[in-house]
Structure 1
Amino acid sequence: MTVTKRMVSTLMLAAIAVMQGLSASAQVNAKPKLIVGIVVDQMRWDYLYRYYDRYEAGGFKRMLGEGFSCENTYISHLPSFTAVGHSTVYTGSVPAIHGITGNDWTDQVTGRRWYCTEDTTVTAVGSNSSAGKMSPRNLLASTITDELKIATNFRSRVVGVSLKDRASILPAGHTPNGAFWLDDANASFITSTYYMKELPEWVKKFNERKEPQQLMSQPWNTMYPIGTYAQSAEDNSPWEGSFKGETSPVFPHNLPAIYKQDPGSLRTTPFGNTLTLDFAKAAVEGYDLGNNQVTDFLTINCASTDYVGHQFGPNSIEVEDTYLRLDKDLSAFFSFLDKRVGKGNYLVFLTADHGAAHAIDFMKAHNIPAGLNQDKKMIQDLNALLQAKFGLDGLVKSFMNYHVNYDLKKIEAATNVSFDAIKKVTVEWLVKQPGIQFAADIDNIGSSAIPEPIKAMVVNGYNPKRCGQVMIIPEPGWFSGPSKGTTHGNWNPYDIHIPLVFMGWNIKHGSTNDITHMTDIAATLAAMLHIQMPNGCVGKPVTAITNTANAQ
């Protein structure tokens, strides 16, 4: 066959066209069309695997099978609470810097108690209740969502979604297009005047569907035969809490009757997650997320896992059923994104704000040390001791977030009373109490006998304007909280070992057992997007992810 100049020219032109097509494709996918951050409230790391055999292909299994999992991701601050975790994920910072030291805190200057997203200057949009008097103004640092906005000259669209106000507001940052949360008073998603004067039409239409009422119109029974829930304790376990009106915590739960008595009970069912992800789909459509010249960002908090976990505890059939149902909801949500945005065009990460301890009586039933810290009695006894020694009554106002809050004005007004001496007596007394392993005067923590990494976690969580000056560290298995169900907040692995899985755009399948931290999430996203890290970020990019992403 004779090759002519014309044939060579034609082949060269075809090759150039192919290269141009590849170049154009590379430019289109240079950055993800949409980032979706999913924080599953109270999700212990082991839940990825504890129920793995019963997950379906498109949910958690898809994330682990297609994505990259950081198997040893830890919280590096205390306490490990909801608002703190969400703020840390999205700022890449710690409470000492970003300022969200708990869901509530006591202002050490004024003595006033504050809720983390409370804002007295704004009002509700979509409701007449106080549930809308919220904003991100108490968050002192920028978020990765803020930095994306700045990097694109505010062309990126950012939206936050959760049943909880704080879990919608704090991840979305200071500059979003909107943040929406559920108001139990009218069973509707609302926002505040910080963001807008009127709800968007798509939110109004979603609320008109009355989905909460529909979800609570049938009893909650197990998705599979109850005898197959082998990873859980017996249904009627004495350490589980009950819904209002129930005589025992057993299936089926009569949701219509429960919801009639308590409009907030939807949260403590798996259907709160269903509602959240349905609203997230509506947000994608309403703001046309992922169809922009720049990257958009959707933050989602699945909060019902937290409510169910608090009430029933990690070893309940209710928790297992909630995760099996969440898995199906996530599978449907990922399929929705595949069709709407395109598989490979969006980047999703899934993590948690904290974990949870086993219920105290569950531990005791299996001869594992555990107990309940008696905060009220300890405050009473400590105040009596301090009054006897220093002649001042009521010096300790509260134990909040495992910090001791003092009446600082009373101490400052007193003569011949040393605050250091008060703190010293407090610490010496606390470490003698049942269930207290350590206590420390944080101003003098360098001389404390608390081992690492706990000492560093105390420092990372301490903001002097929002935290009491002495911190309490319970023994493993002990906590301040309910006698039934469970809670979280401490340094132990059950509270701070969290899942972290990335999937989608530029993510190569794999895993790492190297230690990573919650603060690394925002830094990793910034590196992948080639934008600035949030202004308080102390985390580091997970190079096992960024190196492979940048190489593609």
Structure 2
Amino acid sequence: MCFFVLASFLVSSLWAQKPKLVVGIVVDQMRFDYLTRFEKRYSENGFKRLINEGFECKNHHYNYMPTYTGPGHASIFTGTSPNNHGIIANNWYDKFEDKEVYCAGDQKVKALGTESIKEKMSPRRMLTTTFADQNRLHTQFRGKTIGVSIKDRGAILPAGHTANGAYWFRGKEEGQWVSSTFYGNKLPDWVVDFNERDAVKKQMQSWNTLYPINTYTASGPDDTNFENGYKGKEKTVFPYDLKKLAKKNNGFDILKVSPFGNTLVTDFAIKAIEKELLGQDTYTDVITISYSSPDYIGHNFGVNSVEIEDTYLRLDLELGRLFKELDKKVGKDNYTIFLTADHGAVHVPSYLKRHKIAAGYFDEASFKAEVVNFLKSTFNENGLVKKIMNQQVYLNYELIREKKLSLEKITNELAHFIRQQKHMQYVFTRSQLESEGMTSYIGRLIQNGFHQRLSGDVVYVLAPSIISYGKKGSTHGSPQSYDTHVPLLFYGKGIKQGKTYKKTSVTDITPTISALLGIGMPNGVTGNVLDFVLE
């Protein structure tokens, strides 16, 4: 009898040392310097609470290219890079299916909450487990996992293969939170109830600056020629009447490209915590929250815009609201948070050029035509290229075998040709990337993003601040520091207070959380435990 009482006590003590809830927050397209640029305007309850009371890794980077949303979210939560987890881009050419595929697309499932065929989504293309999967396995599936994001891939990939639910926002004419049959046969009643309320319509409001616009000194002027803006409004200046502009901007999709998309995510996440009873028993639960709107806004207006500054000041308040609810519903000492980003972004090259900084634009369409013509003229064969996308060239293996050509000679000749093109920084062949002797820093990043089965045959890297994009707005995807350097903040139960300038990697987050929870590492993990973060 005493033995069983003692055993029960020890088990209870062990679980008491673990957080009841892990909250993994990803801010889509957050450069590290957004923490410092806007620091004076942040409240004490959002970003500053994490920094002042938690642990900040100031030299945190992605260790691979391409720095896109899909690979970013997968890498954060699996603890490994695309060469292992297989999410090599948002979209890529699948040589086995001979078509472009989407990282979260799955035609075997049905959408829930919408009739649209475009919402058939699941994590099946991700080849490894997440720490949330391992937590589910460790707790005999008693610990829950919920994923929330405006973007489907931002909800699905972090939550993993065993999640109880992943929910994302369908805009257009619907304005609904949706999911797929991968997670169950119907939406939970609380999600249906949430969709029936006016929470989404309420956000169709006027977007003006939170504070007087003349106080926004951490960004450029409001009226510039570096921003795309919304259709139907001649100038990209505040205020923006979202309800009036919605018709010409895909209806409820306009909320994604506004800070009120972040409000929707916070509202939904708080409701999920309440209705799913997250953090209410002895088994650790996980909620993954991805704020996608900063990415849409950054692409649209650029990283130096007033719109971005206002978005982050408002996001800071959203985080404060979320943390307050966590304090109330879970208990201040009962949860652990980490906050990071899936990638950064480049300054608008035309803006950089105006200030005499080397930058520019890459004509991808012309480049593709030149590659095709070069191979045709060099090897007297048409059709040697299957696809060029994500700065990778996929060759036609069937034709090469049929014509008894040398694959090695073709890739070497092609790599040499591409190196001579304007705006190129590096070019690597498949054989180079499959070798173990890569010595250059950029080379190792490319190698970590190169999946032997799924990737192409020649990979090229553009020079810093050279992008294949429109002349307005910002983008990302490169191995340069403006895309790899992002925030990493830990806070809560089991976390020390402090900071470090040691270089840390995106793949280190999941091993650290796994160690905190005392669970098995995900099955593809390659990162390290940041022991200096843990108490």
Q: 2:42 aligns with which of 48, 52, 55?
A: 55
Partner of 1:333: 322
- Give the match's secondary structure for 1:498: coil
CA distance in 2, matches of 1:180, 1:136: 13
Partner of 1:273: 262
TM-score with structure 1 setting the length: 0.92
Gaps of at least 5 residues in structure 2 are 1-8
- Give the match's secondary structure for 1:70: strand
Matched, 1:172 2:159: yes
8 Å CA contact retained: 1:442, 1:459? no
Q: Could you give the per-residue CA deviations for residues 469-510 of structure 1, whole angstroms, max 9, x where no partner exists? A: 111111111122222101101111100011110011122210
Matched, 1:289 2:278: yes
- Give the match's secondary structure for 2:207: coil
Give the 5 Å matches for 1:536-551: 536-546=524-534, 549=535
Partner of 2:88: 101
Partner of 1:230: 217
Matched, 1:532 2:520: yes
Q: Could you give the per-residue CA deviations for residues 52-83 of structure 1, whole angstroms, max 9, x where no partner exists? A: 00000100011101010111111111111100
CA distance in 2, matches of 1:210, 1:409: 55
CA distance in 2, matches of 1:195, 1:447: 40
Give the 5 Å matches for 1:189-208: 189-208=177-196
| Identical positions, percent | 42
8 Å CA contact retained: 2:15, 2:283? no
8 Å CA contact retained: 2:348, 2:473? yes
CA shift at 1:362, angstroms? Answer: 1.0
CA distance in 2, matches of 1:36, 1:346: 7
Give the 5 Å matches for 1:216-227: 216=204, 218-227=205-214
CA shift at 1:446, angstroms? Answer: 7.6
CA distance in 2, matches of 1:385, 1:242: 39
Partner of 1:346: 335
CA shift at 1:368, angstroms? Answer: 0.5
Partner of 1:423: 411
CA shift at 1:188, angstroms? Answer: 0.5
Partner of 2:390: 401
CA distance in 2, matches of 1:387, 1:356: 36
- Give the match's secondary structure for 2:239: coil
CA shift at 1:244, angstroms? Answer: 1.5
State the one-letter code of the partner of 1:405. Answer: Y
Partner of 1:514: 502
TM-score with structure 2 setting the length: 0.95
CA shift at 1:442, angstroms? Answer: 2.6
8 Å CA contact retained: 1:108, 1:408? no
CA distance in 2, matches of 1:25, 1:121: 42
8 Å CA contact retained: 1:108, 1:465? no
Give the 5 Å matches for 1:52-451: 52-185=39-172, 186-216=174-204, 218-261=205-248, 262-263=250-251, 264-415=253-404, 417-445=405-433
Structure 1 stretch displaced more, 84-93 or 447-456: 447-456
Matched, 1:483 2:487: no
Partner of 1:15: none
CA distance in 2, matches of 1:502, 1:225: 32
Structure 1 stretch displaced more, 76-85 or 251-260: 251-260
Change (3 A) 1:26 1:210: same
State the one-letter code of the partner of 1:412. Answer: R
Matched, 1:37 2:37: no
Change (3 A) 1:543 1:366: same
Partner of 2:5: none
Partner of 1:464: 452
State the one-letter code of the partner of 1:112. Answer: K
CA distance in 1, matches of 2:42, 2:13: 34
Q: Could you give the per-residue CA deviations for residues 283-307 of structure 1, whole angstroms, max 9, x where no partner exists? A: 0011010102200000000000100
8 Å CA contact retained: 1:68, 1:510? yes
- Give the match's secondary structure for 2:101: strand
Aligned pairs, number: 524
Structure 1 stretch displaced more, 400-409 or 374-383: 400-409
State the one-letter code of the partner of 1:102. Answer: A
Change (3 A) 1:100 1:227: same
Change (3 A) 1:412 1:257: farther
CA distance in 2, matches of 1:233, 1:397: 43
CA shift at 1:269, angstroms? Answer: 0.3
CA shift at 1:107, angstroms? Answer: 1.2
Root mean square deviation, CA, Å: 1.8
Structure number, greater radius of gyration: 1
Gaps of at least 5 residues in structure 1 are 1-21
State the one-letter code of the partner of 1:495. Answer: D
8 Å CA contact retained: 2:147, 2:287? yes
CA distance in 2, matches of 1:469, 1:346: 45
CA distance in 2, matches of 1:463, 1:441: 13
CA shift at 1:239, angstroms? Answer: 1.3
Change (3 A) 1:25 1:50: farther
Partner of 1:8: none
Q: Could you give the per-residue CA deviations for residues 111-140 of structure 1, whole angstroms, max 9, x where no partner exists? A: 221100111110101110023211011000
State the one-letter code of the partner of 1:345. Answer: N
Change (3 A) 1:449 1:525: closer
CA distance in 2, matches of 1:176, 1:88: 17
